[in-house]
Amino acid sequence: MASHSRAITLTSSQKMMIFVLSMSLYGLSNMFTELIPEFRIGPVELSVEYFAFIPLTLCMLFSPLHAAVGAALGEVIFGELMLGQFGGLGELEKFLTFSFAMYVAGRMVRDPLNRVQVGVAAIAGVIIHQACSSLIDIGKVWVGVDDFDTIPGLAESVVVVEGFSFLNDVLFSGILFALLPTAYLVPRLYGKIEPLLGIRPRGKAAYEAGGVSAKIVATGILLAVVSFGAAALSKTDWNFAEWDSGFEDRFGTGAIWISIAAAALVALVVLAFFRMRKNRGPQAEAPGESPYV
């Protein structure tokens, strides 16, 4: 029984490495989306919102909390700060809603070899994130702190516009860049990628300890309220820490490539560290480490 308990335990350094790996990989992918052009067919906008399969896969294979928070922070660091800009309180809304959605998706998976279950969890994560973002945008318009952009061919209603954008993002980016690749990668990588990184795979007990409880739902509601407050304040004079150095305007796509190079370097360093630890052999785990989940 003791050995089974150890099998679902990560050391603090391993959790930190998962956090940094998720941060760098998602930050790297997020910058590539900036280089992909957008296409519009009538009111339908075909654009890559994000490569959500990267944080989703990491959340399902490793520690959901550390992978989710790392990915959300990666977007801030490599998608904002490295480009010489920061949105102030508005960034808090994106950070909270995205990390919570990815975390919930990671906890929903009980069997990583079940493609249907993995796919449902992946699309659920996208739906949670997009629904929170849409509801917050609607709320900002209703309280009068923000305007909304109309879409040609649709009624001039914020609910209609946000609802259409929600469906557009879920059905396009959600299916192509979240559900399909995640449902393929997680069963394929489970039990194979972890040993390469010197980490034990999440055991059956770790997955069974997951799920979405009433406590997580309550936490999600609280985070949604905080996110709305931050987003609303970001549109007022109460917004702080907002700045733009003009770095991206001066260097254009060159600034994006600099951020891509930085994210890639961090990811390579983390992977090299994992490999170095693996080559040293099994590490003795410190007593009192917190569970994998």
Cα distance between residue 64 and residue 184, in whole Å: 18
Percentage helix, strand, coil for the chain under 3-state DSSP, each rounded to 5: 65, 5, 30
pLDDT in tens, the chain (293 residues): 344 434 456 778 788 888 999 999 998 888 888 887 777 766 666 778 889 999 999 999 988 999 999 999 998 898 888 888 877 788 888 899 999 999 999 999 988 999 999 999 999 999 999 999 888 888 888 877 677 666 655 556 777 777 888 888 898 888 999 999 999 999 999 988 887 777 778 777 666 666 788 899 999 999 999 998 888 888 877 777 777 777 777 877 888 888 889 989 988 888 888 777 666 655 444 444 445 55
Report the candidate in 121, 98, 89 with the shortest Cα–Cα distance to residue 232. Answer: 89
Instruction: Give CA 71 to chain center in angstroms.
Output: 5
Report the candidate in 132, 124, 152 with the shortest Cα–Cα distance to residue 228. Answer: 132
Task: Look up residue 32 and give its amino acid.
Answer: F
* Total-model pTM: 0.84
Alpha-carbon torsion angle 89, 263, 259, 243, nearest 10: 20
Residue 173 corresponds to which tokens in the numbers above? Answer: 């980016």
Report the candidate in 273, 263, 275 with the shortest Cα–Cα distance to residue 17. Answer: 273
Inter-residue contact 39 to 47 (CB < 8 Å):
yes
